[in-house]
Structure 1
Amino acid sequence: MELELSTPALLFSAITLLMLAFTNRFLAIASLIRGLHKNYMKAPDQEIIVEQIHNLRRRLTLIKNMQLFGVFSFLLCIICMYLLFRGYTMAANWIFVGSMGSLLVSLLISLVEIQISTKALNLELKDMEEIFQKRSSGLDFIFKKDTKKDEE
């Protein structure tokens, strides 16, 4: 199979959409960090805030690496297209393989980041579940009759 100029060009839209998604993740985490920082300054001894801060630090590092490999993949696509335009098909093939590999690494890091973000949400749910269990043993409180109304 011969690599054509349009083949690496197809990756442009995919890589651009991935970079947009990665940037949105970064912005969401930046907002969370700012909110957690305010909460931490008010109550620095809350363990869940410290756990979330560690979690967000790991996620920031992963997002930085996702973006790094995404940009590298994009650059390799551009180099591949240039090499194809100049007629260096063998070099272009190898550069295209490198671009696909870089994109694959970026996606794998994204998968790890999704797992970590799920863990962070589970920390939040665990905290809320503990509060909810203290209030009631289940959803029975919704269906309980008001004893004061029944007595009247």
Structure 2
Amino acid sequence: MNELTLATPTLLFSAVSLILLAYTNRFLGYAQVIRTLYEQFLRNHDQVLLEQIRNLRQRLYLTRAMQMLGILSLFFCVAAMFLIYIGMQTPAAYTFGGGLVLLIASLAVSVWEIQISVQALDLNLKDMENRKL
């Protein structure tokens, strides 16, 4: 194995930071949609709204998991950088590898969440088709 330098975890550090920003924006978007759906639901207990609310709850929890995994990945990156700095190459390599695994997990949860988002949009499309007929 080649020696790990400070530059390697630094590259992941910036990528994870951008991903966390995207996750945070997604979370804020969901918060706004949930507030809007809540107001609509108070006026009209529509079945489609109930399905959207269930879907959003699941997406919200997945987004939280994505954020937690991303934050842990960032933590492992910083820890790896510290271990490299103090000359502990082997623990640094394992710590960096752990950060990569956490990032992969975060991205996998993101793919899962995107699939659920498509299902939510499909609910709206089906409702529009049913109302048209």
Normalising by the residue count of structure 2, what TM-score does the alignment of the two structures yield? 0.97
**Residue equivalent to 1:111:** 111
Structure 1 runs, 4 residues or longer, greater than 4 Å off? none
**Unaligned regions of 5+ residues in structure 2, if any?**
none
Deviations 1:9-67 (A, max 9, x none): 001111011001101110111111001001100012x1100000000000010000000
**Residue equivalent to 1:149:** none
The one-letter code of the counterpart of 1:94 is Y
In 2: Cα distance, 1:121 partner to 1:108 partner:
20
Please report the RMSD computed on the Cα atoms of aligned residues, expressed in angstroms: 0.7
SS in 1 for 2:32: helix
**Residue equivalent to 1:15:** 16
* Equivalences for residues 12-91 of structure 1 within 5 A: 12-44=13-45, 46-91=46-91
The one-letter code of the counterpart of 1:119 is Q
In 2: Cα distance, 1:23 partner to 1:92 partner:
28
In 1: Cα distance, 2:79 partner to 2:33 partner:
37
- The percent of aligned pairs where both chains have the same amino acid is 45
In 2: Cα distance, 1:85 partner to 1:114 partner:
38
Deviations 1:115-134 (A, max 9, x none): 000000000011111122x2
* Equivalences for residues 129-140 of structure 1 within 5 A: 129-132=129-132, 134=133
**Unaligned regions of 5+ residues in structure 1, if any?**
135-152
Normalising by the residue count of structure 1, what TM-score does the alignment of the two structures yield? 0.85
The one-letter code of the counterpart of 1:78 is V
In 2: Cα distance, 1:13 partner to 1:93 partner:
18
